[in-house]
Structure 1
Amino acid sequence: MGWNRFKSKLLVRYILSYLLIFLIPLITVTVIIYYNAIHSLQFEVEQSSINQLDQAKQNIDSRMKELEQIAIQISLDNTLTPYMTNHPYYGKEAIESLNKYVVNSGIIDEVFLYFHNQDVLYSSRGKMAVEVMLDYTYKFPEWDKDSFIYDMSNLKVSSLRPTESIVMKRTRENRVFAYLEPLPVGQSTKYATLMFVIEENTLKSMMESILSNFKGNSYIFDHDGNVLAKASHGQEISPENEKLLSNIELGITKLHFDNVEQSIVSVQSDYNGWNYVTALPSEQFFSRIVQVKAIIILIFAVTTVIGSIFAVLLARKQYYPIKDLLEFAKVNKTTSKEQSRQRYGHTELDQIRETLLSYQTQVDVQEPYARNQYLFTILKHGVPDRVEVQSMLEQFGIYLYDRQLFVILTAWEYKASSEHSIYQWEELSNYLTELGLPEGEATVYGVELTSINKLALIIGMKKREEPKEQVEFIVEHLYALIETRFNMLPTMGVGGIYERPEQLNQSYIEAVSALETRMVNGQGSITYFSSLSQEQEEDYWITKDMLIKLGQSLKQGNAVVAVDTIEAIFADLYGKDISIPLLRCMCYDVLNIILKTASELKLVDAIQQISTASEFDTLEQLEVKLCSLSIYICSQVEDQEETEMQSLTDEVVAYINENFCNYGLSLEGLAEKYRVSVSYLSRTIKENTGVTFSQQMWNLRMEEVKRQLLSSNDPLKDIINRVGYMDVPNFIRKFKKELGYTPGQYRKMYS
């Protein structure tokens, strides 16, 4: 019941999380799209109004420009001079010319030609007196004969008379405006004036032909703010508000007229300064997006339903791997009531987290072993890939690049009779795992070797032009530190100095070679590999240190160092100017070192191959043969080491299986018995059994207790003591934690 509740609780959390992850962005995006759509449509309507209004402006401007062209043509027309218009015969042609201009224009209702200081007018309908025109044809309410003659005779520039209502031919009323142009155009001296009469409906029709779908009010204002034409589709705007529109800023503006928001669009003519204005109630815009709104809401609803279904399915799909991971971590197995109470309120993720923390603890425990193994591999075999090595070393917190490097191999005689030797060794190796030397500006990285009485130290120090004194200072400082702090008298072999971690295997072989001189120098000595070659019989002979290094690299099974050493020896031989017999003798020295090493290693096959290698005609032939032979010897050494180590591991595991009931059996005791380091022994046991030494001991004792519980009626305490576990209550607690019930309950259930 509790498990199902945990499961449903986590699953509900997943479903709610996925729904929120899905719905929050969906709602946000929908709101953004909705408002963007509204503003986009509003902008589209307003921009469309601007474009249409601009098109109407251009159309009307072009018509007004035609009036200017007509005025120019009339001023140049010979039939429309004062003489021709007053001539009895040619006066008729003048009237026809005026009629032609009216017919060819699309906006002129009538054109009048007035010569200064006369009482008559000429139009397309003929010659008429001024008072007849003002009284019958176009009766302007604010224009009598005297003012008309004065205005027409004194006009110097083009002028516009605002739109006003007039009575035409005494029968109908109409709204027109008069456009006055003095003649001739472009000259200072004027002799006549043209008056173009234009009906408001003409401009209104031109605007409506373009603003066909416009639902609002549109206006044309002259440069003085007077209304020339207006068209209304809907509620009209009051004269006071029209006055505001005449002074409105160009572009798009929002105003409130009678508590109604209006979208105002205004453009201005560059030709005559007229303002073209449209006023659209903003609420009309929202009526156009009802369909868009409905579509958006429908899409949102459908998406929400489908997305929610997918969110639930995805949540369930994501939950199953967690369940599988929980089963893999073995925290979903049947538990006791006590464990269930402890886990109450925890979800599967909490249980997995606890398991991962446990794994992390195990990784932290194993990291020192991995670090030591990696450094040991570098010392033995070098490194193939600098980038990979640098990354791995930095993960372990080891920094060897851009430093001068060398290796110290330290050892002391192991005394089996000393009870504290193994613990002193462990304390020393832990202390030297990583040690900073501020006085020498160097860092020491300790590497445990297979042997219990040897420790390799990788030294990284700041680069110096003359590092010899610095190396001696570091070596003596470490020697004194080990002697005073741990009460040990170490023997040290010091390898050469190198610039790159890839060359540490060279320094290691040199340190091993230097340490072997303790047979001569005695325990507690310090031997530098560089000092091994100081005593030479002749300057031209192969240096002693190179021969020692070659033999030691073969013993260690390090083919890389062995080949590098042979190549260095022969590179030196190629440059020597000596006799052939002496050169052969020097070559036999190299052969003797290889023969001696193969003999010590008991490699019969390698010894037989040396006789073939001794037959050579050139140094190049011998170098190739010796390199090939060295590689073969090193491979045999590695095979022997692997065989010996596997044999040792099998022996240790077998010993544990036979003696796990011994209360005194410990990892330290096994290391002392088989003369290997504790870390190496722990690592090999883990690699071969899959568990640590302590876990292996627990598993063996646990199985033995279970077997005796089912096969005998002996008291539980006696059984637990027989398997080497003296703390009975602690064993019972661990037994119950692992199986979920006590040993007594186990006996009752399965006996």
Structure 2
Amino acid sequence: MNANLQPPRRPAGTGLNWNRFKSKLLFTYTLSYILIFLVPLSVVTWFIYHNATANLRSEIEQSNVNQLNQVRLSIDNQMTNLLEIAGKIAYDERLTKYMVSHPYYSREAIAALAKYKANNAVLEELFLYYRGEDRIYSNLGMTDTGVTFGERFHFAHWQPEAIEQALNETVFTTVRPAEDVVVNSRRESMLAMLIPIKPNDPYPYGTLLYLIKEAQLTGVMDTILSDFSGSSYIFSGSGEMLTANYRGDALRDQDQAALTALEPGIHSLELGGERYSVVTVQSRVNGWTYATAIPSYQFFGQVGQVRTIIWLVFGFTVLIGIAAAMLLARRQYHPIRDLLDIASLRGDVREPSKGRNEWEWIKQTIRDYHARIDLQEPYVRNQCLLLLFKHGKPGDPEIERMIMQSGLELPWRGACFTLLLSWDGQSRDARTWADMQHLLERLGELELPEQQARIYGVELTGAHQFALMAALLPAGAEGEAWPAAADAARGATLAKDAARRVRDTGDAARHVWDTGDAARHVWDTDDAARRAARVVEALDAQLADLLPQRPNIGVGTVYPDLGGLSQSFLEAASALEQRLLTNSGRIAYFEQQTEQPDAAGPSEQYWIPKRSMLKLEQSLKQGNEGMALQLIAGIMEEIQRKSASVALMRCLCFEVLNTLLRTAAELGVADARHDLSALHAFETMEELERQLGALALRICSGRAHQTETEQPELMDEIVAYVAHSYADYTLSLEHVALKFDISTSYLSRSFKDKTGTNFSQFVWQRRLREVIRQLEQTSAPLKEIIERVGYLDAPNFIRKFKKETGCTPGQYRKLHGGGSLPEGK
């Protein structure tokens, strides 16, 4: 427990009432001092912040009004220039109907049109049309109206027949809203302005058509409204939106229509459920309305610096005030604080009286705290045990801290080894779920005080085995007992000292103990083996009392630190396997399985130690890639150290290769026999080591694949999940693989085997069927339907839909009677 006093938490179900405690004084003093300065400070801060925001908002809105007036003046000047050009053209003798159609003077007329076009920068094209004819004139010459507007200038929504009608019937100056125009296969957004000739004549004889790029108008708006964030619009006198410029989200159509009804000035409106500041100005030249809409929250972005300064000052003042309040309150609460400190540092608090008091509450809090630790500790310890058994002690400081806090860290001068418990098939099937829970409870943490040992166990569900870590406290440790949970801080210090001392020796084979004087004790392997045997005998005796039939036990080698626990785990698994092959006793020691006979003679030194080969086989069977590569590296280093001929060393290398191939055959990993010619044709030991490492990785990968495929019902669950969650736009192969803890390659392959189609195609078909159903049975807008099925890219979906069905969604809806809404609406 932390020696520093922490604020006590309310125990569950205790019904804490501060009014009954003398500690109410601390709460009262602290709260009073805080409120004395916090309430007025908050009011003043809010007042300053509100005024700063309001003033800056007013400045920004007024600035927008001024900038919008500049936009109006600039565009009005350009529109006035266009009207003046129309007046000049109407009275230009070179542009009479006779002159433009005359074979000789028509060139001068065309040149005059080109000059007028060049006098205004916003003009993309200028056309002169004399009513009742099928010809039209521009700076490029005379062309047929059908060719001009059917081929050269193709409007998205203005058909050639409608254009010709407008040219013949326009009486007043008219401006069409911006729309897409295809100009010689190039798409541009343009406005069309029609001016009758002569202007204001009740009987005009011609029409002047201006094509204005929308970008010219929005460019003016961008240039002047450079520091503006929001949407800006230009509406005609009749309320049509001529052009718009967006810096953010666009307003809905009904909200845009509401802007045209506003009087010039500054307005605060709620549009689409959000507050906006709207500024409008109106042109006296043509009646156009210019409007800007700024989301109100963007004003706060403009006052970010002011707000930051205010909040920093406020926060700094609050921190100082709280610190001062707590200091003053603690001085008043000093005697009670001393009692709380004692309660937090000592574990021998006396029993409280029947009445509610602070001592009883403190004790109950400590009890609940320890109960929560005890509840969580087995789960953390099991995960740490599995990690130690399969991968050894990690280098991650956070995981090392978890191992230490879960009580698994060895004290200085400690040792550990692994035991594997396995039952025969008939015995395993006879055990009930209650038997397993009882066994888990007993073997999860088992104390053997006579052997000065403690055992931690975890079940290996896939292998139907129990893996046990036996931790030894060396005999003769001056009567030192195993560090208890209450002495966790001291145990952590011992563990850190042990790790540091082992690293300082530089020799993993020797573990030096420092007794505190000049004498040093060296790790005694024989004594450790004898103590391990006594622990195994004691455990077996307890299992005899617990179980009707005792299990088979595999015992690994004793190691001086947790880093060797994964090695011991492999050895215990190998000992169990060798016991089955040799029909030996129920308890198998790895050291005994790997002992070499004395009669082997001096030549025995040339062979690879049996223990290394057995551990290599076991690491492959468990799919432990890291341990397999480590063992291969160690074996190859051992071979190179032997004083043997090249031929004998080559034979030893082939022995390692044969071990890998034999293990792969036992596991049924066919991929291991790939490219055997490269394996036996090695030139150097380093080359062979790389090839053997690659082979080991293939075997481990094959074993992992077998583990995945041992759950046939898993794919049924995944397919059902995908079929149910297809409308989730975040659904992806990686997402599902992460959710079900399998590899993406296995998921992709198995999903296609299960459903007959790949993952993305399966999701697409589900979404397509749902879109078709909604198109046929509902009248919802197409965009909304596409979003409902989890597709965010509507244009791409429409293309894929047309490729799949031969028609667009809108056409499909019309054919199958699902409503009359236009496509994309």
Do the structures match in fold with TM over 0.5?
no
TM value normalised by structure 2: 0.35
- Larger Rg, first or second structure (1 or 2): 1
